[in-house]
Copies of this chain bind each other. A is one copy, B any other.
Amino acid sequence: MSSQPTDDSFHVFDTTLRDGAQREGINLTVADKLAIARHLDDFGVGFIEGGWPGANPRDTEFFARAQQEITFGSAQLVAFGATRRAGAKASEDPQVRALLESGAPVITLVAKAHDRHVELALRTTLEENLEMVRDTVSHLVAQGRRVFIDCEHFFDGYRANPQYAKAVVRTASDAGADVVVLCDTNGGMLPAQIHAVVATVLADTGARLGIHAQDDTGCAVANTLAAVDAGATHVQCTANGYGERVGNANLFPVVAALELKYGRQVLPEGKLKEMTRVSHAIAEVVNLTPATHQPYVGVSAFAHKAGLHASAIKVDPDLYQHIDPELVGNRIRMLVSDMAGRASIELKGKELGVDLGGDRELIGRVVDRVKERELKGYTYEAADASFELLLREEAEGRARRYFRTESWRAITEDRPDGSHANEATVKLWAKGERIVATAEGNGPVNALDRALRVALERLYPQLAKFELVDYKVRILEGRHGTQSTTRVLISTGDGEADWSTVGVADNVIAASWQALEDAYTYGLLRAGVEPTE
């Protein structure tokens, strides 16, 4: 590993694989968990909580394979589990044994710290709960493991019975737990409350404290930082804030605040700029679209639309951004929309390498075209390639084309035996020839895509490299009494770069065809092929 782990004085503890997986819509395979663990280690977190070995076969398999298949750089693997059952011995509890058998060097034990939960959910006595903490922690420490304790519902418990909540902290710490993590399990706290409780518990117990915040008040990041302000030196977070209900404290804004606002290095040198990439990569693995408006790492995080801002940014970008986006691997973007003025269009042209040279009349025409198309449902904010084609068409006075569509047809059939057939035919003109091509596919759009390739690949061999990498459909509701329309966004790649195009029509197939036409046209332009008309 090239990067140095940071020292033990401050812990960045990630629980995406355990608590993050509780998010509605997330369903991780072992392969997913291994991929995420690699990304997190690559980002430089200190601890990766991988799951609850023994509780389900998937988590048990993850621990076995992670230790075999991954050479961790900065991170240590953590197994999550519970204190032993009431009335038993930790050394004889099968759940505790599974934690040891996972081979993880660090174990986080969840313990009840709220008297009411001990009685109602655990159905045991307050004293036995303390005994469960003491026995389980000392057993695991005796077996050579480092132990952290998650005090579940700590803040609610502290409000109800502060003496008992602190007794759990002292018991865990005295039994050998290295960090006692105060959890706002129901997520109902606000920063000032977190600050006050953490400060008091630290003063009264002297234990090393951590924080685990849920985002139910929308304050999980601030709650985490408030605990650090009060003396916590261990933060539990999840990538992109994934987690039960609203989610957990988001790893990325917490780390960014600590490094950029507090000036406290918590990642190995040079890792902060991987943040945007890692955030998006993990979203891909869990199969969720990266949240566009996420702090620091969202594609919109440094995107400017207001004409007022665009004019100022032409003077000095720092006037309208709180940090240099490159510090977190993100970038500034100017948005093209009918709210944007001429300054935005000019900056966007510059970003795409099309010099509009301050031509006011040309820029005005582009603004008008964008307005007119957005009214129909097009959006250029997420379709740079379609925007560039529009821009070049206005700048050059005509559209540059490689082919001209005459007509097409797509048929999808469900047969009595349950199998599907998809067939598409395209009729088009290219380099003076009329070409008719038919192809099958696994769906109607795929069949159209293949038919288009069959028709064109002899004349334009460059398009053999093109690949559809993403495909999104949005139904624009006929809210204003109009017929509903369909918008399709397609991302296409050639192995070097990806580009995005948009199509809008009264149905999904026709909208997809438009986006495909733009995608092939832009790809050929990008490849330096001379347009034929």
Contact = CB atoms under 8 A, between A and B. Distances in A.
A340 to B, nearest CB: 10
A510 interface: yes
A56 B305 CA distance: 15
B304 A245 contact: yes
Contacts of A416: 406-407
A319 B114 CA distance: 10
Contacts of A21: 339
A509 interface: yes
A411 interface: yes
A407 B412 contact: no
B409 A409 contact: no
A409 B190 CA distance: 57
A4 interface: no
Nearest to A511: B443
Contacts of A441: 507
A94 to B, nearest CB: 17
Contacts of A300: 23-24, 245-246
Interface stretch (A290-298, A492-500, A520-528): A290-298
A301 B245 contact: yes
Contacts of A312: 117, 120-121
Interface residues of A, number: 115
A219 B187 CA distance: 15
Interface in A226-276: 226, 229, 241, 244-247, 250, 253, 256-257, 261
A294 B422 CA distance: 40
A293 B444 CA distance: 34
A414 B322 contact: no
Nearest to A480: B31
Contacts of A405: 414
29 contacts: A22-B306, A23-B305, A24-B303, A24-B335, A24-B381, A25-B381, A27-B338, A120-B315, A153-B319, A186-B322, A190-B225, A190-B261, A217-B253, A218-B222, A218-B250, A218-B253, A219-B219, A244-B309, A245-B300, A246-B294, A284-B479, A405-B414, A407-B416, A409-B412, A412-B507, A442-B483, A443-B510, A471-B475, A472-B475
Given A23-B300, A442-B507, 11 more contacts: A24-B303, A24-B305, A121-B311, A121-B315, A185-B320, A191-B191, A217-B295, A219-B253, A219-B257, A246-B294, A471-B475
